[in-house]
Amino acid sequence: MHNISTNSTKNCVMRITRELLEQYFLDNCTEEEKRAIERWRSSSEDEYEKLLSEVSKREIENDIWNDLIPVINKGQDKKAIPLFNRVTGYAAAAIILCTVGFFSYRTFSDNFEVNEMEQSLVLKAITTQRGEKRTVTLPDGSSIRMNYETEIQVPEKFEGNERVVYLTGHAHFDVARDTERPFIIYTKDTKTQVLGTSFDINTKGENETEIVVTSGKVAFSEKGKEDNLVMLTLNDRAILGTDKSISINKVNALRLTAWKDNQLIFDGKTLREIVKVLEPWYDIRIVVKDAALLDTDFKWSGDNPSLEILMKELSFAGRFGYQIEGKSVTIF
């Protein structure tokens, strides 16, 4: 079916414990507790460092995910919070210390060749061409829906305490849950880490990488820069831009990831933007004779449409003519 249309005394005596400090890292403290911790930090730096040294890295890791999992299961849409944006100095160093085990970074070249210092892994490259989509099931039961012109590199089997894959292009991940082995996706510029959830990653933007979360909780960061990290939940879209900043906004994730179900949705897109999608989608070349048409807006959706049906309905809405000859389409 197709749709178409054109300050209190209590703070001073509050006891600062390891458990309270962990909740502070998780941004789960009350405003009163935050003020008390920050006041205590500024006056008791030695004690602050000592307390942190008593907290094991694995304990912090487990506490973080144990707190996040109930939020995911309850379906709460909690706004993504940059983990480092309010913490500086000693606190930033402390968080890096406590999370280094969980958000460990490994160095790879841009083409994802394994560094000599890494464990020996046999990686298999899987690619799609123009006009092609493909679903890959991994050894752990996770599945990857690859869009056109995409490459993933995956091991023959997952070994060790991590499940690592490498992506160039556009793919949707449905990750099987494994609390003992985080699932990590490296692109040229980003690192995404989860325990079990679903999300969309697209590296096809101009020097940008985009992620859209369709379920669960996702840690998204600039590769090798764990101080530039955000936690994302359902309907969060994050983009690592050319300046390496990460911007976040709320979106309709199901609409933005409809491509994985062979649905095309143009929600106010111009013909110029639509052409860029249709050419690799159908493996065709489109020539627009009337340049004025390129800025025409369209609102159209279709479930696995044929090229003929799509062009017929777009031409009706846009009041233009078209001709299909083999793999060439002319719009006039």
- 3-class secondary structure, 101: coil
Helix (H) or strand (E) holding 43: helix 31-43
Q: Kindly indicate the confidence band of residue 174, based on its pLDDT and cuts at 50, 70 and 90.
A: very high
The widest CA-to-CA distance across the chain, in whole angstroms, is: 80
CA dist., res. 78 & res. 198, Å (int): 16
Better-scored residue on pLDDT, 32 or 83: 32
pLDDT band with cut points at 50, 70 and 90 for residue 24? low
Mean of all residue pLDDT scores within the chain: 78
Which is more confident, 83 or 160?
160
Q: Quick one: average pLDDT of 24-48?
A: 67
Could you tell me the two tokens for 49?
């460092």
SS3 28: coil
Q: What is the 8-class DSSP label of residue 114?
A: B
Contact 179, 140 (CB under 8 A): no
Please give the average per-residue pLDDT across 285-293, as a whole number.
95
Confidence grade of residue 44 (pLDDT, cut at 50, 70, 90) = low
**Is residue 123's pLDDT more than 50?**
yes
Give the integer Cα–Cα distance in Å for 98 and 102.
Answer: 8
For residue 114, give Cα distances in angstroms to 151, 185, 187.
16, 14, 13
**SS3 of 51, please?**
helix
Rounded to whole angstroms, how far apart are CA atoms 257 and 180? 28
Distance of alpha carbon 269 from alpha carbon 26, whole angstroms:
39
Q: Among residues of the chain, what percentage have pLDDT more than 70? A: 69
* 56 pLDDT more than 70: no
DSSP, res 108: B
Question: pLDDT (tens digit, 9 = 90+) per residue, 69-79?
Answer: 444 344 434 33
Q: Give pTM, 2 decimals.
A: 0.64
CB atoms closer than 10 angstroms to residue 260: 19
